[in-house]
Structures are given as C-alpha cells and as structure tokens.
Structure 1
Amino acid sequence: MSGGLLLAGVRRVGAERTAEEPVEVLLQDGRISAIGLALDAAGVERVELDGRYLAPGMWDGHVHMGQWSAVSRRLDLSGAGSAAEAAALVRARVDAGWDSSEILLGYGFRDALWADAPDVESLEVGETAVALVSGDVHTVWSNRALLRRAGLPDDAWWLNEQPAFDLNARLSATDATTLDRWVADAARAAAARGVTGIVDLEMGGAVEAWERRIGEGLRTLRVKAGVYPADLERVRARRLRSGDPILGADGLGADGLGTVGWFKLFTDGALNSRTAWCVDAYPDGDGGHGLPSYPDAELRAVAREALAAGLIPTIHAIGDRALTQALDTFAALGIPADAPLAPRIEHAQLLRPGDAPRFAALGVQASVQPEHAMDDRDVADHHWAGRTDRAYAYRALLDAGAQLVLGSDAPVAPLDPWVTLSAAVTRTRDAREPWHPEQALPLPDALRASWGGVDGLRVGGLADLAILDADPHAVAPEALRTLPVHATVVAGARVG
C-alpha cells in the first residue's frame, strides 16, 4: 500500500456503543481501506490519536449556506423580547456609528409572543435603511428608508412568505467572490464541529455556486445542492438529475464533493409568522389557518414536472394540514424505491393523527431540525395549544418507521450538529424542564440520523470522519451540545 492516512490509536464510535480497545484505521483514495491492529501501511502519513474517538462525519440535512455565512455580519435580534426592544437595538447600532449609505440588516427576531405589535414608525432612524429578517426567515420588517431604496410601496414594511423571500434575496445579494469567501469561512467553522456534509437548500443557484466553489478549491465538506422551481429550466437544460456529480472536471466522479440534491417545494409558511398551514385556526387575529403555498393539483403538477426531469422532490411542510398535503403529493407521484435519492419532507413540525406511518409506507424521509423545538416551544404552546403532544414528534415518527434526517435550517438555528443532536436527545436547553420528553430520540437513533443512516465505520465506506475528544455515549446528555471535536476528515484528508 502507498499514500493515504493512517489514524492510529482510535476508539470506534458506533451508533449503539463505542469500542473500548484502540485500533488503526487506514484511509486511501477517499475511503476506509482497512481497520485493525498493526496495519501494513508503508508510505502513508501516520497520525497518533492517543485513544481519541473516531466516528462517521456529521451531516446537516438542511442548510441555507449563503444566508448562514452572512448572518454573522448582521445585527442579532434573537434576544429581543418585544418590538420595542428590537427597535431599541436598531437605534443603538445606528447611534454607535453606522454609515447611512449602507443598509442595516438584522436577523433573528421572533415576534409570535410579543405583547406589542411591530410598526414602521419604530424603525425610523433618519436616512438609514433598515430591514430585519425574522428568525424563521419568513418575515421581513423594514422602515420607510428601506422601502424607498428598494422601490417598494409604503405598505410593504411587513412582508411574509414569498415577498419576504424575494426581498431577503435582494438584500443578501453580494458579489460571488465575497460570498464565496464568507461560505469558505462558514465551511471551516462547520468542519471544526465535525461536519463533513450538508444539504444546501439556498434559495436559488446552489448547483452553479457549488460548482464554482469546489472548482476553485473548496474541499472542506460534501454538498448536496438543492434546486428550486426558478432553477428548473437551467438544470434541466444541462440534463442534471438528482444524485449527479456537479463537478465532473476534477476526476472525482460519483464520489465527488458536489452532487445535485433535491427539488425544493413549499406547502406553507412558518409557525412564528403564523403562516404554517394548520387544520385548526390560530387563536389570535382573524382565526386564520395559515397560508398554503399551492392548491393540491398545482403542487402535484410542479412536483411531477421536476420528477420527469430526474429531480426528486423535497417538500417544506410545517403545519399539520400542509404535512398531509405533502404526503398526499408523494402518494400521487409514486416515486420508486430505487430512486437516486429518497423523497423527503422538510420540518414536519405538526403531525396530524395517522400521518406518521405514511412516511415509512411511502418511503419518505423526515428531515427535521430539533433545535427548532427549543426555539419554538413557547410559541407552540400558545399557537398550537392542546396539540403540542404531536408537535416536533420525532419519537413518534421514529416509532412509526420513518427514516429521520437531522439538520439545523441554518441560519434559523446554528450549523452545529452537536447542538442539533443535544436538542433531539434531551428536548431542552438553558436548564429548562424538557419539553415533551416523550418525543426525545434515543442517542443511537439520533447518531444514525446525523450520520446519514449508517451505524458506524466500515471498510469501503467514505473516509469522511469526525475525531472526537470525548465519547458521545459516555458524556452527560446535556454535554452533547458542546462535545469537543479534535479534527475532521473529508475524502481522506484533514480539513479541520
């Protein structure tokens, strides 16, 4: 044997347990070529790991990478307990010195339980244009200076759903060179937490963006790049299908770092914005049920068009009525079990009784974000009162046979798989009582859902690995959130 990397003195972490005795693991040509003792590994780089813990690399199943990479450059409003507090944070930032030629962007506010209502007047800070994006990314709150700059009507100071997405895309636009530098920074930070792959559901152009980034040398993680309806014609014209490599020129072939992912569709909005489509009416306001994105027939038609082009749908569904619509759509599509990617539903935050078994019956994965339950527990207790026993019901989905995929929906929650894993296992943070602990996932199942469904390391598997300073099976559950990562390996090379 020649070339490669030998990881010596590692204890293997499996989904069920961690091996007690250290072994050597040989990585060659991007894969695990051998596991054992005193391996014949002449000519390879040997790395002594002194009894550390070796696990499959972590995946984040739902990321908006461009938005996540930009968030650290925005005003954090996640701690605002009212509209007045959010406005005060804006004024303080302007008073501290802000170039009024630049738009002041904020993110992370959650207004669903605010006692006061947002208004356009409270964001008036002279000539500075202000736009604030909600924590769920489904609402944008602006001032008049922003509306004038963006050429929007006076009543567009509060936007939900597609108009909010469109404005956010305009506000987030930057040149490709700058954005790619930010994304590279975010990818390095993710690698430092053991992330070896993401599903990037950035709202438009993800395939082309990752072709560019990987082609220019970004080798920090694997990416499955999503496709939106606005991308369909371009992707279809190139005859790209789900599972295809999007970077064929570098010779990586089917094991390339970038591949085409899912075709993203929506059925509804979000809980905080009260646009999640529900069977029961929201308790406040006009008794509305949320905002459906498509009539049933239209959703099926768009999904069929994508499927005919070889793109497997994933459907955003948060409210229980929306989730039923998404499952009905997959039932009508009849995607074969040998499709290159399994069909998915994103979020699945409120389950209608009887819908959980349909995931397994239809072969539909549940792509869920456990930290959202921690963010939303108080909002859900208010707006979904009497129904939270079936909200963020991960154990119910697991017990019904659904395949779970864990993720963050960054920037809605941090791109940190250990934050995600902790929320899934403990159903708590900040020393609060666990919220519906009956829906917590057992650690082995949460690990599988973070590792892409595998049970542990195997010869022939991809050499995408996380080297840990602690055994996840041995630490206290609350310590999972900050579990230390020593190094990360992608395609057999150290990246973090």
Structure 2
Amino acid sequence: MRSTLIRNARLVPVRAGDVAPDAPVDVTVEHGAVTAVGESLARPANADEVDAAGRWLIPGLWDQHTHLAQWTLTSQRLDLAGARSPEDAIRAVAEWIATYPGLPVIGWGHRSGGWEREVTVSELDAVSGETPVVLISGDGHHAWLNTTALMHLALPVRDSVVRETEWFAVYPRMATLVGNDGTSPEAYRRMLDVAAGQGIVGMVDFEFGASMDGWLERWNEGCDRLRITWATYADTLDDVIAAGLRTGDTLPGCDDRATMGPLKIISDGSLNTRTAWCCEPYGDAHRLEYPAGQPNLSGAELRELLARAHAAGLEVATHAIGDAAVAQALDAYAATGAGGSVEHAQMCRREDVRRMAELGIRASVQPGHLLDDRDLTDRIWGERSARSFAFRWMLDDGVELALGSDAPVSPLDPWLAMAAAVHRSADDRDPWHGEQAITVAEALAASVDGQPMVRPGSRGDLVLLDRDPLLRDLDQSDTAALGTALRSMASAYTMVAGRTVHDQTA
C-alpha cells in the first residue's frame, strides 16, 4: 500500500475539545492510517503527494442507513416522486408502457399518504394489460402492483396494495421480473464513485434479501472503493451466527474495509403507509384498519431476536418510527442488555429519548425525511409533530446521533442530511419546529462515524473540501443561509484506508 503526504491542509475541529492549528499543516498517511500531522513534514520514500492548497481536511463522511441495491436501481425506474394523485401515477405508467412496450414497469417514489383516496389494482390493470407493473412507495413499505405482477411474484390476487412484511418478503423475487443488470458490479461501482465524490467513505447497507456472498462477489469485482458495513436480517441470522461473525468482524473473503454490522429488525411500519405504531390514533384513523398503526413483532418476539443477536456478539438496529414502537424497542434493549441503535426514531416521547441515553442506544436518523414528511406529519400526527425528528432533545439528553439517508427513500447525500438537520426546511417556509434544529458543528460530528479531528492514529479516511464545513464565515443564526451552503458542498479529494478514491484537486 502506497503512502501519501497531504500538504497545506486546514484541520477542522469535529468534537468538543478539538483545537485546530491556526495555519495549514501537512498530514502523512501510511498503512491506511494517519501517522503524522505537522508543519513541513518530510515526504516518506515512494509516497504520493497531494497539495491541499489550503483546503479544509475532515474525517470521511458516513451514511449510516442505506439500501444500496435499491439505490443503484433507482435511475432505471419510473420516477413517481412528483405524483400528486393516483391519476398522476396511472398516467405516468401508461406513458412509460407506450414508450417502452414489452418491458416491465418498476416505479419508485410515490407518496400515497398524501393522496385523497386509496388505490386499486383494477385501475392499474386497465392501463397496463399483460405488462407487469410494480410501483414501490417512496418509503419502501408498500407497493402497488397490477394483477400480472401479483401473479408473477406468486402473491395472492387482491385489489389493494402489498404492505410491510408481505412486501419485504417478496422484494427479492423482483429479479425474476427485471433481472440483475441494475445491480451488476459495474452499477455498484458507479454508485460508489458518486458517493466518494460527496466525501462518503463508508455506508451501512440494510438491503432487503441480501447475503454476505453478494458483497464478497462484488468486492472481488472492483466494488471495494469504500467501507461497507453489511447488516443481516432475521432470515439470514442463523447463517451469520453459524459463521461466528460478530459486529465489526471482517466479512469472509474481503479485507477490513468490509465488515459485519448489526441485526436489522423492522419493528413497525412507516408514516406514509400509516403503519408506524403510535401511542395515539392517526388524525385520519377513520380510514385505517389499525387506527394507531401496529407493531410487526410482539414484545416477546422482539426480545427473543435481540437476545439471540446479543448472545452472538451482534449489535441490533431496530427500525422504530412511531412513539409506541420506540418505547417497545427500548424495553427490549433494557430487558436483554443488547446494544445498538434505534433506526429512524421519527416520533419520540421525551422520557424515551432520556431512556435511550441511559441505555447507551444510538439514534440513527435520516434528516432528509423531515423535508418529505413535514406536511403529512402535521396533518395526521397533529401536535405530535413537535416531537418528530427531535434531534435537539437527543443531543441535549446525551444520545449519540448518527446521520444517514435511508437511500433511496431520501437522496444519498450527507450534505443534504446535514442541511436538513440544521435548517429543517426545503422551501421558503420557516424551519419546521426549529427548536429541534442542531448546529452545523453538531451535524458534522454526527456524520463522521465518531471520528475526532484528524490526528496521528486517525483512520486514513479523509476528505478535502473547498470550503470550511463549519461555515464559520456565515451568521450561525441564519439557518437558511447555512442550509444553502451545506447543500452546495462536495469533496475535492476523498481517501479511504489510505487509498485515493476521488480526486478533483488538480
């Protein structure tokens, strides 16, 4: 492995207590780690040299919650993010079929939670005929299929959407409709290159129906640009335990950039699908079979899974969006002694935020969701929206915060996530519950996988930026300006484990 000397870089304080030098410094990276930081360092023999030219140097960024196969496929799917009604979606399907006759239609991104009525299979059948159609909701928790697609995927024919556990189970069979071209090694490499250009050095992959072998195959086909943490679900947990893998271990056949992650459990549903489990009914509960949503697992089932994972040395990442689901997840962590995270934690009671801190459970959150969910949350959760995406509570109460995207539910863009956490608005409106906003410095600290300011011993996962990421030249009270500046950030240079994976410094 070649060494690298980065010259003339400005260090950025990341954690409380970090004190950056006033002037640019040199940074030596050897054997995948930072070995020296100082002025006018000697260049190691045979080392590459990068002139930072006064750019700002930070630890590499992480996206702590992704679905990477789905993200690579998104560019090949019918984009329904702009559909404001069932009629909009049906019209888009008809146009797609006319343009690409004979090809299955896979759509992504519609938000039916804001539509005025429920959809039916029969109205999709009317415009699609024998062409299979699968329209996946923007939250990934349900899909609207036509009859041809239902039959092809061996699902019972019905006139309604396929939700939650039933949908998650059938998703891996989508390859029988569309093949695997969209998740080829070449497609993954393109995706990883895009991420590297944003300053991302690592991602946690929560893909449904995936296996360790899939990453081993991709790794050996050149998809080893970034760090990957692979999570298991309950259906592959036995295989992980049998292999003796613990969280943090290197995946078999890979190097230490590809590691075993947590057991992922989806304990409730989503806001858009009205299946997130809440302590009180939804505002439109009269439309719902389950007025307050429902859990996907009983408390006993959840505890059993946590206990098995914990005994095998695995952390647990528990998807919990509604406040009732968050409370049950924390009960299970407390009862079993398991560690890990609550994924999403979209609506929490203050007492449960404090319990999260006491138990040492991370809040793995996706600020981009608040931009999409703002209006729907106000409409169906009402005053409870004041405790949605409660990042300020979490930090004030001592919860470790880890930012991600849930890509492709939200764009795989760490700067967008930071901007959303800081400004909490995607348009000209005032920040949504601005009292829950966090600072730019706090957002950056929640995006670097717990790493401090670059120093000897730091991972060789580094990013050079053309602008100070703390935006200290701007008024810190003008969150709109801060958000705009954050969204315009990109990496000039990205290094992973001492290897250059993106370079725009020339």
Instruction: Give the TM-score normalised by structure 2.
Output: 0.91
Shift of 1:237: 1.5
- The match for 1:118 is 119
Partners of 2:143 and 2:163 within 8 A in 1: yes
- The match for 2:35 is 33
Deviation track 1:159-198 (CA, whole Å, cap 9, x = no partner) reads 1101111233221564489533222211111001000001
- The match for 1:283 is 283
Structure 2: state its 5+ residue gaps.
475-480
Deviation track 1:31-88 (CA, whole Å, cap 9, x = no partner) reads 0111111101142111112111111100000011111111111011011111111111
2:381 corresponds to 1:384: yes
Shift of 1:414: 0.9
- The match for 2:486 is 480
2:255 corresponds to 1:263: no
Shift of 1:23: 1.2
- Given residue 495 of structure 1, which amino acid in structure 2 is its aligned partner? V
- The match for 1:218 is 223
Distance 1:388 1:55 in 2: 34
Distance 1:25 1:402 in 2: 32
Superposition map of 1:36-55 within 5 A:
36-43=38-45, 44-55=47-58
Partners of 2:165 and 2:296 within 8 A in 1: no
Shift of 1:213: 2.1
Which of these residues, 356, 363, 366, is aligned with residue 353 of structure 2?
356
- The match for 2:312 is 309
Superposition map of 1:412-491 within 5 A:
412-474=409-471, 476-477=481-482, 478-491=484-497
Structure 1 stretch 126-135 or stretch 316-325: which is displaced more?
126-135
Distance 1:103 1:485 in 2: 37
- The match for 2:194 is 189
Which of these residues, 118, 136, 139, is aligned with residue 139 of structure 2?
136
- The match for 2:478 is none
Superposition map of 1:11-22 within 5 A:
11-15=10-14, 20-22=22-24
- Given residue 142 of structure 1, which amino acid in structure 2 is its aligned partner? L
Partners of 1:198 and 1:223 within 8 A in 2: yes
Superposition map of 1:77-156 within 5 A:
77-95=80-98, 97-100=99-102, 102-124=103-125, 125-155=128-158
Deviation track 1:208-252 (CA, whole Å, cap 9, x = no partner) reads 2222222333221111110111111211111111111114x56x5
Partners of 1:405 and 1:450 within 8 A in 2: yes
Alpha-carbon distance change, 52 to 441 in structure 1, aligned in 2, over 3 angstroms: same
Deviation track 1:133-153 (CA, whole Å, cap 9, x = no partner) reads 001000100112222333333
Distance 1:3 1:146 in 2: 51
Deviation track 1:74-123 (CA, whole Å, cap 9, x = no partner) reads 0110111111111111111122x2132x3210000001111233222332
2:66 corresponds to 1:58: no
Alpha-carbon distance change, 70 to 172 in structure 1, aligned in 2, over 3 angstroms: farther
Distance 1:112 1:437 in 2: 24
Distance 1:135 1:177 in 2: 19
- Given residue 174 of structure 2, which amino acid in structure 1 is its aligned partner? L
Alpha-carbon distance change, 184 to 156 in structure 1, aligned in 2, over 3 angstroms: farther
- Number of equivalences: 482
Distance 2:184 2:242 in 1: 26
Partners of 2:188 and 2:223 within 8 A in 1: no
Classify the secondary structure of the residue corresponding to 1:421. Answer: helix
Partners of 1:131 and 1:143 within 8 A in 2: yes
- The match for 1:236 is 241
Deviation track 1:428-463 (CA, whole Å, cap 9, x = no partner) reads 113332111111111111111101123311111101
- Given residue 215 of structure 1, which amino acid in structure 2 is its aligned partner? N
Classify the secondary structure of the residue corresponding to 1:205. Answer: coil
- Given residue 238 of structure 1, which amino acid in structure 2 is its aligned partner? A
Distance 1:156 1:332 in 2: 41
Distance 1:88 1:168 in 2: 24
- Given residue 131 of structure 1, which amino acid in structure 2 is its aligned partner? V
Partners of 2:201 and 2:495 within 8 A in 1: yes
Shift of 1:291: 2.0
- Given residue 9 of structure 2, which amino acid in structure 1 is its aligned partner? V
Alpha-carbon distance change, 19 to 104 in structure 1, aligned in 2, over 3 angstroms: farther
2:297 corresponds to 1:294: yes
Shift of 1:311: 1.6
2:8 corresponds to 1:5: no
Partners of 2:73 and 2:183 within 8 A in 1: no
- Given residue 377 of structure 1, which amino acid in structure 2 is its aligned partner? R
Alpha-carbon distance change, 204 to 310 in structure 1, aligned in 2, over 3 angstroms: farther
Distance 1:209 1:150 in 2: 22
